[in-house]
Amino acid sequence: MSSIDNLIANVIRADVRTTHAYVVPDSSGYMKLDAMENPYELPLELRKELGQRLADAVLNRYPVASYATLKEKVSAKLGIPAGYDVLLGNGSDELIQIVATSVASQERRAAILAPVPAFVMYARSAQFAGADFVGVKLNPDFSLDMEAMLAAIALHKPAVVFLAYPNNPTGNLFAVEDIEAILHALGENGIAVLDEAYQPFARQTFMDRLGEFENLVVMRTVSKLGLAGIRLGYMTAAPQLLAEFEKVRPPYNVNVLTQVAAEFALDHIEVLDAQAAAINAERERLAAELAALPGVEVFPSAANFISLRVPDAADVVAKLLAERMLIKNLSKMHGSLANCIRVTVSTPEENSAFLNALKAALQAA
């Protein structure tokens, strides 16, 4: 072994050395339908006004540490109940890491649980925080296997259960009564994090039930709403619980440009809401046309993407890649996703282009 290999072996954790980095493919020159982004930009006049706001941002100073103005706008515009504060993060990824770090005990190894397949950052954040990740397989229809979930909670006594609502990568909403049962099963011994990243499209939420469950955390992001580039996530919980997470949050974790852009966008939230409504309408059209294709199984979605099963996912993805289209091959994520792909719901033009390319790929198989 070389000296650098010896150095890495001596100082870097073994589980980190055997883990692959989270790779985001280069999308230059491609129709990007793989990352659940809002395809619409802000109207030109708003972009011009935002440009001036950003030009006036004070870049030589740290952000105001309390983020008071931004937090007030998030609370007022995004439905935070009265009496509840928000904690801001550099996207929801940082918030997931904050939660995992907060519960990863130095005295005993904590467990973090989630149904699988699920958002990959739940398992990665648990690992890097030094907690044990417990995955509980979903039913074949991607609903929660409640017998298995409750058994896993009783056995592993997780400090946290992450529940994406709607779930990523499957797109479905878990049953309300199942989530309630998990909250009751955790009681005073664990928290449930409802990750509502796709709430602008689902239009269903547990936000208004925070008062019923002291062990409930609701987490969201503005990425799917149309602001993926500014990387802003937010979460709320019982004030005493949120205060504990605040201790783990890095100082100045939301930069000035993000703060300015977010405040501006929230002042024009009606534009983003209209875009979400347009995407929802396209989701219904796209799902219906996909379901009509021979050999295609479409799964119900309450998000801004659709997951579907095709005869040969690798072949379809390769053929669409040749047409300069990026979609997500889910097959390697979990055994239940064999031959599944995921596509972002985009503009009518891009959705039609995807449909035509998929039809051609299926016919050529």
Q: Output the pLDDT for position 109.
A: 87
The residues with which 192 forms a beta bridge, in sequence order, are 161, 216
328 falls within a domain: yes
Domain ends where: 241, 267, 293?
A: 267
> What is the tally of structural domains in the chain?
2
Residue pointed to by tokens 């799917």: 224
pLDDT truncated to tens, each residue of the chain (365 aa)? 799 999 999 999 999 999 999 888 888 899 999 999 999 999 999 999 999 999 999 999 999 889 999 999 999 999 999 999 999 999 999 999 999 999 998 777 899 999 999 999 999 999 999 999 999 999 999 999 999 999 999 999 999 999 999 999 999 999 999 999 999 999 999 999 999 999 999 989 999 999 999 999 999 999 999 999 999 999 999 999 999 999 999 999 999 999 999 999 999 999 999 999 999 999 999 999 999 999 999 999 999 999 999 999 999 999 999 999 999 999 989 999 999 999 999 999 999 999 999 999 999 86
HEC profile of 135-161? EEECCCCCCCCHHHHHHHHHHHCCCEE
Domain ends where: 267, 288, 307?
A: 267
Q: Do 214 and 302 reside in the same domain of the chain?
A: no
- Do 215 and 192 touch, CB atoms closer than 8 A? yes
On the CB side of 172, how many CA atoms lie within 13 Å of its CA? 18
Q: Output the pLDDT for position 105.
A: 83
Helices 91-103 & 239-246, crossing angle to 10 degrees? 100
The residue length of the chain stands at 365
51 falls within a domain: no
Q: Do 352 and 297 reside in the same domain of the chain?
A: yes
50 falls within a domain: no
**Reduced to 3 states, what is the DSSP secondary structure of residue 4?**
helix
Main-chain phi, psi angles of 218, to 5 degrees? -110, 125
Other CB atoms within 10 A of residue 200 CB:
25
CATH of the domain at 341: 3.90.1150.10
CATH of the domain at 113: 3.40.640.10
Residues in contact with 302: Cβ distance below 8 Å, sequence separation at least 6, in sequence order = 166, 171, 172, 173, 198, 201, 202, 204
- Do 136 and 178 touch, CB atoms closer than 8 A? no
Range of the domain at 356: 3-43+270-364
